[in-house]
Structure 1
Amino acid sequence: MPPALQPRQTRHARENAAPFPASSSAQKPSTTFTKSHQYSSSSFHDRLRAGLRDRDPERAKRVKAARERKATRKAAKDAAGKDGKAKKKNRTKPAMLEFDLPPGPADVDAEETAASSSKIRSFHLPRFLARRDIAEDELGVNAELLLSVAPEFASEGTEGTTLEPGQLAYIRDVMKELGPGLLRTVASASVEDMSKTTLVPDMVLRLNDQGSDYPPPTVLLAVYRTPSTSPSTTATQVVLLPAHTNVLALYCSRIPTLPPTPPVPAHVVDSESGTLDPSRVRVPVQPLRLPSPSTFPQLLSFLYTKRADNLSKALLPPGPMSATVNAASSTRAQATLLAQTYTSQALLKHAMDVHGLWSNATVLGIDDDPLWEVIENTWEILMWSLALSVGRPGIMAVSEDVPPEASADGKVGQSSRGE
């Protein structure tokens, strides 16, 4: 962990969670919960176990479909690998796109600015953002970590640190229904004491929704950026994000470590009354180093809600285009409208956000088809819009003969030169 940390609380509870509202189709838990201004641990776990036992035909079909998609992806990858080996013989560098942009405002419409400068900046962006490579026999989750922080996910009558075939799909299916409610508890939590200049083992969260049917956050993530190669004397900026360890372990197969989930929230004793204060809970602080802390709140919210449409809206510039990423309209048509509406600098900013979110998902080892489809679709649209914005649509022809593996490193570079 960095020697000097300067924590600051994100506005995740009020801003970053806002683009990801709870799904209106999410069902309210059928179990009767204790309404004593304290979350009922047993009730929530009963809800989980009831959902895991409810292996109805529709859920079984979804599990079968997920397995078929994985098999199809493997077959496509094998075919692309054979074809890619022949193409790579004549290629020594990964497929990169170069965009020459003048410096200027990045958040204004094209009609509102006419950027001009004597210095042009060249940005080198990968043509593709490759998916995480999942082995054929890999679940896409760290089962040992998942069951250590959330033992309620274990199959009834089984012990150990493994998941039976198909169990992971059932768990994710149930948590998809409960996720929006869990996210609301995250949005209602705030760090009580922000005066500390260094991170401590645990901190107190104040809960604004004391009567929630869902458990409060169980960990406070201290997210900070992966350090650059050049030394720095400034304090590391840290973003504090409340979260639930079971949600993180369910999707982030490469997350280094997580504290175990307590069976009962550690409510703080009120100094005056001597009783437990239901509005305050003490949680462990978990440092988490990521390439892009600024885009992690959007990724975290997606893991709770699994709303691909809302994630697309958050990654693309505001307007009608963000609502039609998965519509039948062509990528070229969507990119054309964006290029006509926004400056190249604004489009680049959104492209960097997509790249940052992709970097986080790769580092955390998230294997989720809807997430990767959003990343791929938004990146394709933004690359086309940038190419059209700078008047170089021809550079996109590289997509016809270069497989995604060619851009697996995903590095972004830039340089400057005078006109």
Structure 2
Amino acid sequence: MFQVASHPAAFHLREHSRRPSYDRPHTPKHSSSASNAAIQLPRTLTRPPFTDISRDALSTAAPDLASVPTEFIRHHLLAKAPQMQAGLTALAPSHIAKSYPRAHLPPALIVPLRNVAGPPPSYPTHALAVGAPPPKGLREAPADAPQTIFAVHAVVLAAHCAKLPRLPPSHSSGGPNATLPVLPITLPSPQAFTLLHQFIYTHRIDTLLASLLPLPAPFLDSLSSSSASGGPSAHQILTATLATPTVLHTLSAHLASASAGSLTTLMSHAAHVKELWQDMVALGVYDVVLWDALDLAWEVVLGGMNLAAGVGQ
């Protein structure tokens, strides 16, 4: 089993004494007292140094792309996203949308293929079996620990995840079945990988943020329609928002209201953002817009908690 390190390994509930170099000078500073119970959260979620994707893993997945710059590869894959998503949809859900006990993972999944409407499908090449880290004090997870199955295209993973190893050879899919070699991996949060799995195919920042936090629909709509309408890009919208305290306050107030001022609910939102951060670091996902979205989600959560904690004081 390939195990991805959970770095940073611990999520310390304390204020960081120094700010990472990517922090923006105009980002508003929230109070360190995140709740009446003196809960303290890190001021920022550290963005690790950039590491480019593995050319070895990429050359195995797509030899013709081995020397192509990363951004061109991702642009090319995004253009093919409808075909790849059609290939994912073609897999019989009864065979792919499930979990296996760790000790009973098959070396490969043979999945029936369904006819799907739309563009000609590009079928996935592998299945990731994603499990959680073993309990503290154990060297490996129990034999019955669930491993959640995700169908993937090797080239998509290689183009986005710098810390994944070379995937095993795949079999051509066609006829009635797809044969998907299974790669077991351990991630800090298998649940958060659901969001990453969707993002690396669609690059939909609005969908990802909506899955993390209840944000105003007009703001999410601006992110989804920005490029198509010829307006500012999602990256420009996110960075402008992070640099505008009044807009951040509006988003935080919306979140606090949507959470009914409940610090328990807001802590749950903070935990989801933290889990996504851990998986991004562990896998080596260095998409700039995705990191901007993570920064924004964290700022809004901190602001919402501060507003909720201030009620009645």
TM-score after normalising by structure 2: 0.73
**Whole-Å Cα distance in 1 between the matches of residues 275 and 100 of structure 2?**
28
Q: Match for residue 345 of structure 1?
A: 264
Q: Match for residue 65 of structure 2?
A: 153
Q: What SS is found at the alignment partner of 1:390? A: helix
Q: Match for residue 185 of structure 1?
A: 87
Given residue 131 of structure 1, which amino acid in structure 2 is its aligned partner? R
Q: Report whether the alignment pairs 1:363 with 2:270.
A: no
Summarize the alignment of residues 126-165 of structure 1 with structure 2, pairs less than 5 Å apart. 126-134=42-50, 140-154=52-66, 163=67
Summarize the alignment of residues 243-392 of structure 1 with structure 2, pairs less than 5 Å apart. 243-262=152-171, 264-265=172-173, 267=174, 278-317=175-214, 320=217, 323=220, 326=237, 330-342=247-259, 343-391=262-310
**Whole-Å Cα distance in 2 between the matches of residues 229 and 350 of structure 1?**
24
Could you tell me how far 1:191 is from its partner in structure 2?
5.0
Q: Report whether the alignment pairs 1:235 with 2:144.
A: yes
Confirm or deny: 8 A CA contact 2:163 2:283 kept in the other structure. Answer: yes
**Whole-Å Cα distance in 2 between the matches of residues 245 and 99 of structure 1?**
42
**Whole-Å Cα distance in 1 between the matches of residues 283 and 188 of structure 2?**
10
Q: What SS is found at the alignment partner of 1:238? A: strand
1:75-97 CA distance string (max 9 Å, x none):
x949x8xx9xxxxxxxxxxx995
Q: Match for residue 112 of structure 2?
A: 206
**Whole-Å Cα distance in 2 between the matches of residues 289 and 280 of structure 1?**
27
How many residues end up aligned between the 2 structures? 261
Confirm or deny: 8 A CA contact 1:245 1:258 kept in the other structure. Answer: yes
Q: Structure 1 segments of 4 or more deviating over 6 A?
A: 193-196
1:222-254 CA distance string (max 9 Å, x none):
000122323476721211111111100011010
Could you tell me how far 1:340 is from its partner in structure 2?
2.4
**Whole-Å Cα distance in 1 between the matches of residues 99 and 270 of structure 2?**
35
Q: Match for residue 226 of structure 1?
A: 133
Which structure 1 segments of 5+ residues have no match?
3-75, 84-94, 102-119, 155-162, 268-277, 393-419
Given residue 350 of structure 1, which amino acid in structure 2 is its aligned partner? H
Which shifted more, 329-338 or 371-380? 329-338
Which structure 2 segments of 5+ residues have no match?
3-19, 224-236
Could you tell me how far 1:302 is from its partner in structure 2?
0.5
CA spacing shift, 1:359–1:195, aligned 2, 3 Å? closer
CA RMSD of aligned residues (A): 3.2
- Structure number with the higher strand fraction is 1
Q: What SS is found at the alignment partner of 2:177? A: strand
Q: What SS is found at the alignment partner of 1:216? A: coil
Confirm or deny: 8 A CA contact 1:245 1:259 kept in the other structure. Answer: no
Could you tell me how far 1:141 is from its partner in structure 2?
0.4
Given residue 241 of structure 1, which amino acid in structure 2 is its aligned partner? F
CA spacing shift, 1:142–1:291, aligned 2, 3 Å? same
**Whole-Å Cα distance in 1 between the matches of residues 187 and 156 of structure 2?**
18
Q: Report whether the alignment pairs 1:125 with 2:38.
A: no
Q: Which has the larger radius of gyration?
A: 1
Percent of pairs identical after alignment?
Answer: 26
**Whole-Å Cα distance in 2 between the matches of residues 129 and 196 of structure 1?**
32
**Whole-Å Cα distance in 2 between the matches of residues 215 and 357 of structure 1?**
27
**Whole-Å Cα distance in 1 between the matches of residues 212 and 144 of structure 2?**
29
CA spacing shift, 1:96–1:215, aligned 2, 3 Å? farther
1:49-98 CA distance string (max 9 Å, x none):
xxxxxxxxxxxxxxxxxxxxxxxxxxx949x8xx9xxxxxxxxxxx9955
Given residue 110 of structure 2, which amino acid in structure 1 is its aligned partner? V
Higher RCO (CA-CA < 8 Å; seq separation 6+): 1
Q: Match for residue 275 of structure 1?
A: none
Q: Match for residue 10 of structure 2?
A: none
Could you tell me how far 1:221 is from its partner in structure 2?
0.7
Q: What SS is found at the alignment partner of 2:85? A: helix
CA spacing shift, 1:175–1:195, aligned 2, 3 Å? closer
Confirm or deny: 8 A CA contact 1:224 1:289 kept in the other structure. Answer: yes
Which shifted more, 191-200 or 236-245? 191-200
Confirm or deny: 8 A CA contact 1:354 1:375 kept in the other structure. Answer: yes
**Whole-Å Cα distance in 2 between the matches of residues 322 and 313 of structure 1?**
10
Given residue 130 of structure 1, which amino acid in structure 2 is its aligned partner? T
**Whole-Å Cα distance in 2 between the matches of residues 195 and 127 of structure 1?**
36
